[in-house]
Structure 1
Amino acid sequence: MPLPSSRSMGALVRCTFAFVWIALSPAATAAELDPDLASRVDAIEAQARSNPDAAIDSLDPLLKTAPDQASRIAFLTLKGTSQASANKLDAADATAAALDALATPEAKAAALIVRGFAVRAHGDLTRALELANEAHDALPADADLRQRYRLQMIRGSLLFDLGRQADALAAYRDALAIAVRLRSKPRQFRAHDSIATLFIEAGELVRAADETTIASKLAASIDEPALLAQFWDTRSKLAQAQKDRPLELVAAQNALGFARQAGNPERIETMLINLGDTYLKAGRYRDALQITNEAIVIARRISDPHGLIVALANAGQAEIRLGLLEQGRKNVEEALDLAMRLDSHSMYAGLLAEYGEALEAAGDYKHAINAYHRERRASRALAEASRKGALLELDARYQSEKKQREIELLNRDNALKSAELQNRSLQQRVWLLAAGLMLTGLLAVGLLYRRVREANQKLAENNRMLKVRGERDALTGLFNRRYFQEAMHARSGNEGFAGGLILLDIDHFKRVNDTHGHAAGDAVITAVAQRLLDTMRDSDLVVRWGGEEFLIAVGAMPIEQFDRLAGRLLHAISSKPVRFGELSMNITISIGFASFPLPPAALPIDWERGINQVDMALYVAKAQGRNRACGIRSIDARTEAELDMIEGSFEDALRDGRVILAMIPGDSPGSA
């Protein structure tokens, strides 16, 4: 498994170093540090990039002799972020408390930075961003530019990890402008390197290359191993996106070499993992295993759970590919257990997908199907949690807007009442003037009524849009899982589900995201959705079930017609490539399908159980090589208990004939 992209929990390992460099800058206050003191702080900062423990030891005597509060804040900030970098999180919290005790706005901002870095090491990116934003708000307007640079880089890094690329780019650009004003080459390098990484993730490879060229010149002029290691790591990512495998390998090897020179074990661990992943992709499994085993030793020694997860998973995949199945499964299962204990659900799902592919390639179909089932359950849970979060966010925004409209209407109403009181007072003095004011009041009432009516119309429209958004997938426009569930519950009866279900999954979709970026992945999902709609009838229900998975519900039809429909769907997806910019991607799908109730017993089942059965058929199709449809012809179960036994051991039921399947192969990709 590669060190995951910035949107996943696994990004903590790769992105930590950019964050370390940011947070270890000298903590600036409203007044500039003395030049000699600033030079000393910068030297300790450079030391911390390679050896956080040594930096902490260097700071202790300086703290005892700090000449003023500005110096003390600078030293404590360096100490706290160094402690967090070395996974000494309790010590970092104590240092943040010492900063709070100084009771100044600058110290408060520095304490929030230290806490944000420690929280990020725990894996809570959202809370870390909240702390960074609080630090930004606490910082005085006349604070030193170095502190502002630090906060913009912290915010950019966290926004990037949380998938908010546009906001991250704006923060990085602000930080770069500050670094130029400070004439600080290390800070300029970090900003350009971060922007390059963002462009790589977004698929903007030309712009990424431009930023990398600038970063290369800066890193060479600084000639610091830690910075050069980071540069070559970013260059390896760019080469991977450009599909330049030889350069990717050379860059990853250079990154590891400079990391060893720097001597920071966390940095060495990261570069070992990245090089091991490069070897995996190149099919050099023995080299991958050797490098990754070294990363495992370091991860255990420095107590880095996220790095250990990725290293164990990569080692397990290499062992499985080498035929060491038992040891490989043991390592991957340990990685999965750690991911669940850390609540890294996206990492857990990604590991399972790669685990299944490795087992399938090794011919271990039994464990491969099991891994695919676990990955599907994890992906569904992740999609459901994401959907709920998005819906709650949308509803909160709607409620906020509604409340604001109500406040505006109340203010207008209060203004009208005040005007009416003034009118009554004036009426006692001058009747004609009062009449004029009353007329003005009536006009105001009419205008207010019209605006209230318009506001109500907008409110009704917002309610309608909220309902639509709750029923539709934002990317494809298809109905979503929530709508499908509500529709099926509405039509469910006591006789069980009657009709056909088709569950399909885009083959090797993760490779599209890893190779071409998430924007290309979105283009593939959108194209597949449109081709499904073009193939199906208006009366059929086509749903984006989650991620790269789609579900179709159709009416009852003869089995021969159902087989032809499955074949048409395979052909519709694979017959022409999906284009994205200059890319041309051949895409295939795997399908599981069945028409219910199933012979011979025609046992009534609900639609949820029907989906579970076509899901099992889907994974048989994937295990048999993908680009095919697997249809369930019959299930010999006359009771719920017998059906439970079959679903609990689907492979055994296939072997003894209790389940009969039909396999429909797909066309070669690109064949018309």
Structure 2
Amino acid sequence: MAKLIPHPYTTFMSAIFLIASFLFITLQSHAKDIKVVECDDFLACTINNADQIYLQLYQNSFEFPEKIKDNFPVWPSNASPRAQALYIFAQKNLQRFSGIEPQFFHSALDLGKEHEVDWIIAESYLFEAQALSYSQRLIQAEAMINEVIEMAEGIGYKALIAKSYNILGNIAFDRGNFTQALKNYQFSYQIFQDIADEFQITIILNNISTVYIQLEDWKNADFYLKKALSLYQDNEFSNILTEAILYTNASVIDSAVGRMKSQQRNVEFAFSRAMNTGSKPLKFKSMMNLADSLLNQGQVEDALDIAERCLSLAKEESEAIYVAYCHEVLAEVYLVQERLELALLSSKLALTIFEQFDDIRRIIYTTEILSRIFESQGDYPKALSEYKKMAMLEKDLLLKSRDKEALSLKVQFNNKLNEQELLLLSANNNIQKLQLETQNTREWLYRLLFVIVVILSYLSYRKYRYIKSKHLILEKSHAQLEVDSTRDPLTNLYNRRYLSTWFLKQKGTETSSCVLAIIDIDFFKKINDKYGHEGGDEVLRKLSKILHEQVRPDDLVMRWGGEEFVMIIKSPDTNVKQLLERIRTQVEKTIFIANECSVSVTVSIGAKNEESIEQLELSWKEAIDKADQALYQAKSEGRNRCIIAVSSDVD
């Protein structure tokens, strides 16, 4: 089992206290012994023998709730406060994992405060913070978790620290700060690995997989989920909530990589497990996933039945956010059924609730559904308006995520410095304590202080070297993040985040006119539906290569999102219409390969001329809107054509 590597500073501080202990024991018979006791399993070292049965009950409530739920003991009224707290925590776990309602309602927090037991108070706060995070009250949850971490560090409760960082990872994930989420999960994973808690390691591996699912990094998502499933199965755990989560993620990955039989099996398995848990979020997520899976298989009536059950249950729970989730999936079903008025009503109801909760990701997705509804109604101006809203929300979300990641790196570095300062302060406090206890041994104390000062001086130098090296690593990591964040991993083209950097690089270069073009693959959804996501990805990569070959090194080609690409072409001596037609024709005559099948692909192009790069940067929003309108005109006129916008009209 891998162990956490001790920080060099911690090692030398231990050496200080060992030296101090040796000198005092040798020179003063009345000096106190100095002992450092470490215990990886805090509760095992804290709970007395009489209460061990309740500690085992608490541990089993995580790993084997299905095995203990039918023989759960009665309230231990004569047991110690610690045993009663463990009973309450185990009961809470059963409620969450297996949907078992508590038989007795007692407050562990009141117990902890009444008997002044810090670990009971801290664990109670952890449960409260977890509930806050489930209801998306992330600021309150984060504040409470930080308080739990401070308390747990003060008493040496490693497992509670690790659980806290797992919840911080969930909070960062909900905010879209995936880099910070991975860092929190990694920190939690290292602690759980150190204390050999394989159930919690399973949870962390699944959470890491969830981040990669959100990033659409299917290779890593599949890798970490398989590790989690293997660990769960090898230990023969029996926790239906964990099984539901694991198989929900498995179904998402299966769908993305084209394992459709496995996807259907996993989504049904996850649904059957989730409906028997006490986790409301998981129940509704499973119903949404099942409805979506049925919809993709053409089982529209079955999908409608699940969506209506979802809405009925959400109304029973009186939870607005769950009502919104169910209306969202209902809108998708109604859209497929071409019941457009009902689809419009459900999507608007969902959007209103998501806006109240400021759930940006669901707002983006629901806005995209609205755009498709308006397009199906033939109301292209409204469809375009909703599409633009979605694009702007995605842009804002990306920028916020990037800013949070940069701030996170800075905060992490500052925290490291603060930790080192606290360690030095702790050493100084211990020295003062030794001075008070050894007033009769001043001569030896001065010698001891001299030794400690020498060691601390050396430690200060080591600390400086360590922090400096960490700072360099952070700088390199940040630089690499900058590069990675501007490249589309599928096509290796630049993405929209590179645009501001490109404009900056054009400063001082020769001024010339240019053209802004938006290229969109016609009927790309049909390609994905027919040949799978892997086939669609092959088409995107081939088109990216064609676009890159058709322009000069000074021009810019970006994957803007989905099947849409943006080009900025410097054109002092170029016939723009002829150039864009050449690109369109080259795509049309190229035979694309999707899943080992030949596919004919066409594109629609909307473009806008600008007098200069500087003018394009200043009027970017207006220019992209004009090009977008030209693209929609190209689509509405039958696709596979190029339209160039001029002033307020298009040509």
Q: Same fold (TM over 0.5)?
A: yes
Equivalent residue letter for 2:263: E
TM-fit CA distance, 1:289: 1.4
Equivalents in 2 of 1:508, 1:208: separation in Å?
Answer: 34
1:217 to 233, 236, 239: 233
Equivalents in 2 of 1:50, 1:330: separation in Å?
Answer: 45
Show the 5 A alignment for 1:234-633: 234-262=249-277, 266-357=281-372, 360=375, 365=380, 367-389=382-404, 473=486, 480-483=498-501, 499-504=514-519, 532-540=547-555, 551-555=566-570, 561-565=576-580, 567-568=582-583, 571=586, 591-596=605-610, 606-621=619-634, 628=640, 630-633=642-645
Asked if 2 retains the 8 angstrom alpha-carbon contact of 1:573 and 1:587, the reply is yes
Q: Which moved more, 1:503-512 or 1:516-525?
A: 516-525
Show the 5 A alignment for 1:17-96: 28=43, 31-32=46-47, 34-41=51-58, 62=75, 65=77, 67-71=79-83, 73-74=85-86, 77=89
TM-fit CA distance, 1:279: 1.0
Change (3 A) 1:110 1:536: same
Equivalent residue letter for 2:367: L
Equivalents in 2 of 1:632, 1:596: separation in Å?
Answer: 11
What 5-or-longer segments of structure 1 have no aligned partner? 1-25, 408-454, 598-604, 638-658, 662-672
TM-fit CA distance, 1:512: 11
Equivalent residue letter for 1:38: L
TM-fit CA distance, 1:31: 0.8
Change (3 A) 1:584 1:310: farther
Q: TM-score, with normalisation over the residues of structure 1?
A: 0.60
TM-fit CA distance, 1:329: 0.9
Change (3 A) 1:616 1:338: farther
TM-fit CA distance, 1:332: 1.0
Equivalents in 2 of 1:228, 1:269: separation in Å?
Answer: 15
TM-fit CA distance, 1:274: 1.3
TM-fit CA distance, 1:586: 10
TM-fit CA distance, 1:612: 1.8
Equivalents in 1 of 2:228, 2:133: separation in Å?
Answer: 26
Asked if 1 retains the 8 angstrom alpha-carbon contact of 2:287 and 2:307, the reply is yes
TM-fit CA distance, 1:375: 1.5
Q: Give the equivalent residue in structure 2 for 1:163.
A: 178
Change (3 A) 1:618 1:315: same
Equivalents in 1 of 2:140, 2:160: separation in Å?
Answer: 20
2:151 to 129, 138, 156: 138
1:179-237 CA-partner distances (Å, limit 9, x unpaired):
8x46x7x6576466556656766423763574365257358x55554454445434423
Change (3 A) 1:366 1:72: same
Equivalents in 1 of 2:211, 2:407: separation in Å?
Answer: 28
What 5-or-longer segments of structure 2 have no aligned partner? 1-40, 422-467, 612-617
Equivalents in 2 of 1:117, 1:535: separation in Å?
Answer: 53
Equivalents in 1 of 2:532, 2:110: separation in Å?
Answer: 41
Equivalents in 1 of 2:514, 2:165: separation in Å?
Answer: 56
Equivalent residue letter for 2:227: E
1:333-390 CA-partner distances (Å, limit 9, x unpaired):
1112222221121222233334434654676655533432322232233234345445
TM-fit CA distance, 1:46: 8.4
Asked if 2 retains the 8 angstrom alpha-carbon contact of 1:152 and 1:172, the reply is yes
Equivalents in 2 of 1:103, 1:519: separation in Å?
Answer: 59
Equivalents in 2 of 1:141, 1:50: separation in Å?
Answer: 35
Equivalents in 1 of 2:343, 2:207: separation in Å?
Answer: 35
Equivalents in 2 of 1:306, 1:126: separation in Å?
Answer: 18
Equivalents in 2 of 1:549, 1:567: separation in Å?
Answer: 18
Q: Which moved more, 1:286-295 or 1:229-238?
A: 229-238
Q: Give the equivalent residue in structure 2 for 1:118.
A: 131
Equivalents in 2 of 1:499, 1:305: separation in Å?
Answer: 49
TM-fit CA distance, 1:295: 0.9
Equivalents in 2 of 1:99, 1:543: separation in Å?
Answer: 58
Asked if 2 retains the 8 angstrom alpha-carbon contact of 1:28 and 1:146, the reply is no
Q: TM-score, with normalisation over the residues of structure 2?
A: 0.62
Change (3 A) 1:472 1:313: closer
TM-fit CA distance, 1:330: 0.8
SS of the residue 1:139 aligns to = helix
Equivalent residue letter for 1:565: L
Change (3 A) 1:294 1:487: same
SS of the residue 2:46 aligns to = coil
Question: How many residues matched?
Answer: 533
TM-fit CA distance, 1:535: 3.2
TM-fit CA distance, 1:294: 0.8
Equivalents in 2 of 1:62, 1:546: separation in Å?
Answer: 57
Asked if 2 retains the 8 angstrom alpha-carbon contact of 1:153 and 1:191, the reply is yes
Asked if 2 retains the 8 angstrom alpha-carbon contact of 1:620 and 1:630, the reply is no
Asked if 2 retains the 8 angstrom alpha-carbon contact of 1:360 and 1:368, the reply is yes
TM-align CA RMSD? 6.0
Percent sequence identity over aligned pairs: 18
Equivalents in 2 of 1:376, 1:125: separation in Å?
Answer: 25
Asked if 1 retains the 8 angstrom alpha-carbon contact of 2:605 and 2:634, the reply is yes
SS of the residue 1:593 aligns to = strand
Asked if 2 retains the 8 angstrom alpha-carbon contact of 1:193 and 1:231, the reply is yes
Asked if 1 retains the 8 angstrom alpha-carbon contact of 2:557 and 2:566, the reply is yes
TM-fit CA distance, 1:275: 0.5
Asked if 1 retains the 8 angstrom alpha-carbon contact of 2:555 and 2:569, the reply is yes
